[in-house]
């Protein structure tokens, strides 16, 4: 069953959980003397697409909350009701919507009298483009076409700021622009275009501040940590992890807090702070166990969960010399990485091969590493993955210089992993 992407994006824009949306809708219903019976399950049915056309009073409440029509929120009436359902009295509808926020006036205003302003529906449309880019990244990784598309999305969002219907809409547009810019930065990081990534992240952090968006801020700091590692500024990578922990969303939502602790652990392991890394991994596991699994969150963080935490645990454990534990964590990650995250599966496979070669099991390691090319078949290998495969080959010939499989693997795959 397909989910309602428009409603999910609208909830993410307002930072609403399913419980909070249910409370808002019930409050509006009660203000009109109706019974507020919307529950978490009701909202979940809307989000998953199980309920395609809510009851008319629920639709009106949803339109008041988001400032756009039910159709713009992704709902579709049954085909029969489009011709047989009588329109509701406009005066009653106007009275209901006026009990909500000022955005309701936009909904009931006659079409020919509406000002040419940018509102919630425009923000939702722009936000949906981010979801498309993140799905592309999950499949084939960061590349220049994705980076260009993300920058175009950011430009479009910023062009609409002056036309925004309210300060609230302006902030949401800045948030969209921040996330598009962060997506462009991420594409540059994955492609190891480091100077461009730095410039994109600086811009994204500024836009996140303009938006007052702590989720976007955490996203940028998470990427800063990864960029700092690529630049071999390992202390900066740790500090970026701490900055991510300090964001408001990391303090409020244990899901985001878990990612921040895990990213910090990787940095601490890289600088050799064993106890701090193990402690941070423990914090990350504890926080993730407390996080609600049914919350609506932005598409950029859909990669994170138990599988990704295990993949990051494998990196940290490998860097502090716990090679067997790192291999076990890699296997756990590969057992549960969602199918659509093809690039992440390939990265976790390369990490597994690295753990195996660090245990001097050259034959098994080369077999594992060869699977990376099968996983990425048909797509260019991103720069970050090419660099990791280069690390694998260097360690392979260093730790097993006399193993024939090392030379055979290099001869077979060098042209694949080293091409730009």
Q: What is the pLDDT of residues 388-407, one digit of tens each?
A: 998 998 999 888 777 788 88
Query: How confident is residue 116, by pLDDT bands cut at 50, 70 and 90?
Result: low
Percent of the chain past pLDDT 70, that is, above it, reads 87
Instruction: Kindly state whether residues 68 and 95 are assigned to the same domain.
Output: yes
- C-alpha to C-alpha distances, 354 to 78, 314, 388, nearest whole angstrom: 54, 10, 9
Residue 157 in any domain: the answer is yes
Domain boundary pick from 82, 113, 144 = 113
- The reply to whether 98 falls in a domain is yes
Domains of the chain: total = 2
CA 150 and chain centroid, separation: 14
- Span of 69-73, 106-110, 213-217 with lowest mean pLDDT: 106-110
Strand partners, 118: 164
pLDDT-derived band at 139, boundaries 50, 70, 90: low
**Could you tell me if residue 347 is inside a domain?**
no
If you compute the radius of gyration of the chain from its CA atoms, what whole number of angstroms results? 24
Q: Domain span at residue 63?
A: 5-113
Per-residue pLDDT for 206 more than 70? yes
Both 172 and 139 in a single domain? yes
Cβ-based neighbours of 302, under 8 Å, separated by 6 or more: 134, 138
**Domain finish residue from 83, 113, 143:** 113
Q: Are residues 88 and 131 in the same domain?
A: no
Do 59 and 142 share a structural domain?
no
What pLDDT was estimated at residue 288? 97
pTM score over 0.75? no
CA distance 298 to 180: 12
Does 94 lie in the same domain as 67? yes
Q: In this structure, are 122 and 156 located in the same domain?
A: yes
Q: Among residues 113, 128, 162, which one ends one of the domains?
A: 113
Strands of 15-82, DSSP E? none
pLDDT attached to residue 8? 83
Specify the pLDDT at position 134. Answer: 83
In this structure, the answer to whether residues 136 and 166 fall within a common structural domain is: yes
């Amino acid at each position: 069953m397909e989910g309602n992407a428009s409603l999910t994006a609208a909830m993410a824009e307002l930072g609403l959980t399913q419980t909070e949306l249910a409370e808002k809708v019930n409050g509006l219903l009660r203000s009109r003397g109706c019974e507020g019976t919307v529950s978490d399950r009701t909202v979940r049915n809307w989000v998953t697409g199980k309920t395609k056309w809510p009851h008319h009073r629920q639709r009106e409440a949803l339109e008041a909350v988001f400032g756009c029509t039910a159709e713009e929120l992704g709902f579709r009436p049954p085909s029969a009701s489009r011709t047989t359902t009588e329109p509701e009295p406009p005066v009653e509808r106007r009275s209901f919507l006026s009990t909500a926020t000022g955005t309701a006036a936009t909904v009931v205003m006659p079409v020919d009298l509406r000002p040419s302003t940018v509102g919630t529906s425009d923000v939702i449309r722009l936000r949906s483009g981010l979801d498309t880019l993140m799905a592309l990244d999950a499949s084939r990784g960061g590349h220049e076409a994705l980076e260009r598309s993300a920058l175009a999305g950011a430009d479009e969002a910023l062009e609409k700021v002056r036309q925004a219907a309210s300060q609230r809409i302006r902030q949401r547009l800045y948030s969209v622009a921040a996330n598009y810019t962060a997506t462009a930065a991420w594409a540059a990081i994955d492609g190891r275009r480091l100077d461009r990534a730095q410039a994109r992240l600086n811009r994204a952090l500024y836009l996140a501040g303009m938006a007052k968006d702590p989720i976007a801020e955490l996203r940028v700091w998470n990427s800063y940590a990864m960029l700092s590692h690529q630049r071999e500024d390992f202390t900066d990578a740790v500090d970026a992890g701490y900055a991510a922990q300090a964001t408001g969303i990391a303090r409020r939502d244990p899901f985001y807090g878990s990612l921040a602790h895990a990213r910090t652990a990787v940095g601490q392991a890289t600088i050799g702070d064993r106890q701090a890394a193990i402690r941070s991994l423990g914090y990350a596991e504890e926080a993730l166990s407390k996080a609600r699994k049914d919350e609506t969150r932005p598409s950029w963080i859909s990669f994170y969960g138990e599988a990704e935490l295990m993949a990051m645990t494998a990196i940290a454990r490998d860097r502090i010399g716990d090679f067997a534990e790192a291999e076990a964590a890699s296997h756990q990650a590969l057992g549960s990485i969602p199918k659509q995250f093809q690039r992440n599966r390939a990265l976790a496979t390369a990490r597994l091969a690295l753990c195996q070669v660090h245990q001097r099991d050259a034959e098994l390691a080369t077999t594992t590493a060869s699977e990376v090319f099968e996983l990425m078949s048909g797509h260019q290998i991103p720069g970050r993955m090419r660099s990791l495969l280069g690390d694998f080959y260097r360690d392979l010939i260093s730790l097993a210089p006399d193993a024939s499989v090392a030379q055979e693997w290099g001869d077979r795959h060098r042209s694949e992993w080293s091409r730009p």
